[in-house]
A and B are shown apart, each in its own frame.
Chain A
Amino acid sequence: DTEVTQTPKHLVMGMTNKKSLKCEQHMGHRAMYWYKQKAKKPPELMFVYSYEKLSINESVPSRFSPECPNSSLLNLHLHALQPEDSALYLCASSQVLASTDTQYFGPGTRLTVL
């Protein structure tokens, strides 16, 4: 099973709301990623967790807060977002944080900030 699941599929939120995106994988992978993707553009890396510890933060604004409760789950907490944060948010996982590892992507959460 090479599936990464994400919920919700779509999310509309106001600029004062607090919401969370969820990601789950059951492949035993120990590296998990959050990406942001605008239409017809490549994914932009936001955060990487390796063995449940934050390994890479690509200078993401603090209104995005990642959390890795266990090796299968990855959350992205959202607060006080801006309209320009509207995008497809992708979760991915790989066996470990190694340059040879394939990243498996989830279907994404389509986020609209009003």
Chain B
Amino acid sequence: AQSVSQHNHHVILSEAASLELGCNYSYGGTVNLFWYVQYPGQHLQLLLKYFSGDPLVKGIKGFEAEFIKSKFSFNLRKPSVQWSDTAEYFCAVNATSGAGNNRKLIWGLGTSLAVNP
């Protein structure tokens, strides 16, 4: 069965610090990978996604993520965080084949990021 692991449950950074949030998945086949963000009191929104091609993907608000197939990883990065990046970050994985249940997102437990001004 697919699973997603986010290693950092709580991260506290100062503004301008660099960010890297880890995400590893377990699935032997081809996967589609997503990072969603949930700002306080707001709805979940997509930061970025990877399906194929260049393993380094760029998303909104200066975020990027790198897919490393050999490590089953899809880590999220930002060179310099801002106070407004304070939010919950969720990594999610979906398989590219199969019917029904194989097309649902499998979510990591999330990382709570707090950026101090």
Contacts and interface: CB of A to CB of B under 8 A. Distances in A.
11 contacts: A42-B107, A42-B110, A56-B100, A90-B44, A97-B103, A99-B94, A99-B95, A99-B97, A102-B34, A105-B43, A107-B43
B44 A43 contact: yes
Which of B44, B49, B109, B110 has the most chain A CB within a 10 Å cutoff? B44
Contact of A99 (B45, B88, B96): B96
A41 B96 CA distance: 25
Contacts of A102: 34, 46, 49
Given A43-B44, A48-B104, 7 more contacts: A56-B100, A90-B44, A92-B44, A98-B103, A99-B96, A105-B36, A107-B43
B109 A41 contact: yes
Interface residues of A, number: 22
Interface residues of B, number: 28
A99 to B, nearest CB: 4
Contacts of B45: 105
B27 to A, nearest CB: 11
A67 to B, nearest CB: 20
Counting from the closest, the 8 A-B pairs by CB-CB distance are A42-B107, A99-B94, A105-B44, A107-B43, A105-B43, A99-B103, A99-B96, A99-B32
A103 interface: yes
B42 interface: yes
Nearest to B36: A105
A4 B44 CA distance: 11
Contact of B105 (A4, A45, A55, A90): A45
Contacts of B51: 100
Nearest to A55: B100
A40 B112 contact: yes
